[in-house]
């Protein structure tokens, strides 16, 4: 891979994370347990979509093959997507959605904080902007983990089940492959492996307050950096990409 | 340098462009106009910044600026979107804050990180009581949260600090 290829791949990871999670949250529109949450989830989804657009536009420019944000969002197949496996997992019940959101918000907060100091000015600008939004997202999902964990017997049980169901998807967030390493050496990217202790500290604190038990590290899956995804991504793309693929020249 | 007359003229025209979500505010009140400068061939460049990354009003605002300028006979201009430095509610003008409160939206309370971390004291825009409580971190738009006044019992929008 050339430097340019690596930066392109790195930006896809950031953009795809935001886009796929944003798309998942959009599925809650009109279905959330109450109106305030319907608004919250779609607002968060909108923030993520905005972040994805900035990352993917930049990725397209770096690649230099004339692909813009829409081309990258609508005309790539599963093997070319770089989002974390965690983020494509189905919404499940509200506990599952919140657990996924909480684990990722806690990670993204630290990652954006690190990327705000990137030597790549454009990336630093996107990260600094997005960090403000992620601060609110993390506050929101943290509140729900505590409310549901330290809530009724049923909400506690469901929350515990959700964090266990997702636990094995979390180690992938902190993986460093050749692209990550190269980005760190150049001062462009974040050393995500180094974020783990701070992430653990925050997450452990919230889980304790929520009276939840931190699961054992008994299993893990990974593969997104090589484009190996769970079956769920295909269904997400089918819904998200259908219109522009069926009607490539469609305009709003 | 944009000629002074043109600069003032553009500034006055931009003051007529309203925020599509909160129509009592002009985009100048919101602090999203970063600069007016001159391009290489002499045409004015208006640099604006989005409030939130995914704010759907951003593209509407861009289109509204363009049509307002054209309506006033200015056809040769460029609108540039800049994300850095990131927009902050500190850039909302004093006039903007006053208009927000009158409109029934509590203006952003504090500056800086304390506000972002939720250590805020929000006054009710109706009765000015400071006994208020958060209903939801997210309101009718990304930039607002929902609060309720514990004295007059009115629910209200709060323009979040970022």
Architecture of domain A3-214+223-246: Up-down Bundle (1.20)
Q: Are residues B37 and B19 in the same domain?
A: yes
Indicate which CATH number applies to the domain containing B55: 3.30.300.130
Q: Are residues B72 and B122 in the same domain?
A: no
| pLDDT number for residue A70 | 95
Q: Nearest residue of A to residue B59 by CA position?
A: A50
| pLDDT number for residue A215 | 98
The domain segmentation of chain A, as residue ranges, is 3-214+223-246
Q: Are residues B118 and B51 in the same domain?
A: no
Nearest-CB residue to A132 (from B86, B135, B136): B86
Which of B87, B106, B133 represents a domain boundary (last residue)? Answer: B87
The dihedrals phi and psi of B106, each to the nearest 5 degrees, come to -65, 125
Q: How many interchain CB pairs under 8 A, A with B? A: 79
Q: Cα distance from B96 to chain A (closest Cα, Å)?
A: 21
pLDDT for residue B115 is more than 80: no
Q: Are residues B21 and B83 in the same domain?
A: yes
The dihedrals phi and psi of A228, each to the nearest 5 degrees, come to -95, 110
Which of B87, B110, B130 represents a domain boundary (last residue)? Answer: B87
The dihedrals phi and psi of B46, each to the nearest 5 degrees, come to -105, 115
What is the distance in angstroms between the CA of the first residue and the CA of the last residue of chain A? 37
A24 touches chain B (CB under 8 A): no
DSSP secondary structure of A170-210:
SGGGG---HHHHHHHHTTSS--GGGGHHHHHHHHHHHHHHT
Asked if B142's CB is within 8 angstroms of A47's CB, the reply is yes
Q: Cα distance from A217 to chain B (closest Cα, Å)?
A: 31
Give tens-digit pLDDT for A27-48: 999 999 899 999 999 999 999 9
Instruction: With beta carbons under 8 A apart, name residues in chain A contacting B88.
Output: 132
Q: Are residues B108 and B69 in the same domain?
A: no
ipTM greater than 0.85: no
- Residues sharing a CB contact under 8 Å with residue A211, sequence separation 6 or more, in sequence order: A149, A150, A156
| Beta strand B44-48 pairing with B78-81 | parallel
Asked if A54's CB is within 8 angstroms of B53's CB, the reply is yes
Domain that includes residue B138, residue range: 92-159
CA angle B130, B94, B36 (to 5 degrees): 145
pLDDT for residue B116 is more than 70: no
Best probe of the B interface among A132, A133, A143, A202, by most B CBs < 10 A, is: A132
Q: Are residues B113 and B147 in the same domain?
A: yes
Helix-strand-coil split of chain A, %, nearest 5: 70, 0, 30
Please tell me the total count of domains within chain B: 2
B141, A43 contact by CB (below 8 A): yes
**Mean pLDDT, to the nearest integer, of B129-149?**
89
Give tens-digit pLDDT for A8-17: 999 999 999 9
Q: Are residues B148 and B104 in the same domain?
A: yes
Chain Cα centroid distance, residue A8: 18
Q: Nearest residue of A to residue B50 by CA position?
A: A129
Q: Output the six-digit token pair for A63.
A: 């690649």
Q: Are residues B21 and B46 in the same domain?
A: yes
B108, B77 contact by CB (below 8 A): no
Q: Are residues B11 and B76 in the same domain?
A: yes
Q: How far is the C-alpha of B101 from the C-alpha of B107, rounded, in Å?
A: 6
Q: Cα distance from A130 to chain B (closest Cα, Å)?
A: 7
């Amino acid at each position: 891979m050339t430097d340019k290829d690596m930066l392109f791949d790195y930006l896809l990871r950031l953009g795809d994370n935001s886009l796929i999670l944003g798309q998942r949250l959009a599925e809650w529109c009109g279905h959330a347990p109450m109106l305030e949450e319907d608004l919250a989830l779609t607002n968060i989804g909108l923030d993520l979509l905005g972040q994805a657009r900035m990352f993917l536009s930049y990725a397209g420019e770096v690649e230099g093959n004339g692909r813009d944000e829409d081309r990258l969002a609508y005309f790539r197949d599963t093997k070319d997507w770089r989002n974390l496996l965690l983020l494509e997992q189905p919404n499940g019940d509200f506990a599952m959605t919140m657990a996924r959101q909480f684990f990722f918000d806690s990670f993204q907060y630290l990652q954006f904080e690190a990327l705000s100091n990137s030597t790549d000015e454009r990336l630093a600008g996107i990260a600094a902007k997005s960090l403000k939004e992620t601060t609110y997202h993390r506050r929101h999902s943290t509140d729900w983990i505590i409310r549901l964990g330290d809530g009724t017997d049923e909400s506690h049980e469901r929350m515990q089940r959700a964090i266990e169901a997702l636990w094995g998807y979390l180690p992938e967030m902190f993986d460093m492959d050749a692209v990550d390493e190269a980005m760190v050496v150049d001062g462009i990217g974040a050393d995500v492996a180094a974020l783990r202790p701070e992430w653990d500290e925050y997450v452990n604190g919230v889980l304790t307050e929520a009276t939840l038990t931190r699961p054992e590290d008994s299993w893990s899956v990974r593969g997104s950096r090589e484009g190996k995804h769970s079956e769920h991504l295909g269904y997400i793309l089918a819904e998200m990409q259908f219109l522009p693929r069926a009607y490539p020249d469609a305009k709003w | 340098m944009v000629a002074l007359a043109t600069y003032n003229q553009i500034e006055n025209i931009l003051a007529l462009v309203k925020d599509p979500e909160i129509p009592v505010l002009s985009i100048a009140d919101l602090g999203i106009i970063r600069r007016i400068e001159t391009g290489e061939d002499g045409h004015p460049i208006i640099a604006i910044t989005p409030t939130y990354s995914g704010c759907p009003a951003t593209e509407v605002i861009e289109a509204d600026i363009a049509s307002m300028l054209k309506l006033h006979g200015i056809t040769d201009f460029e609108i540039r979107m800049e994300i850095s430095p990131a927009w902050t509610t500190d850039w909302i003008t004093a006039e903007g804050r006053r208009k927000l409160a009158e409109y029934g939206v509590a203006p952003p309370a504090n500056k800086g990180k304390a506000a972002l971390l939720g250590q805020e004291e929000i006054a009710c825009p109706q009765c000015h009581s400071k006994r208020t409580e958060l209903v939801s971190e997210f309101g009718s738009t990304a930039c607002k949260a929902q609060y309720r006044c514990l004295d007059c019992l009115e629910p209200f929008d709060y323009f979040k600090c970022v």
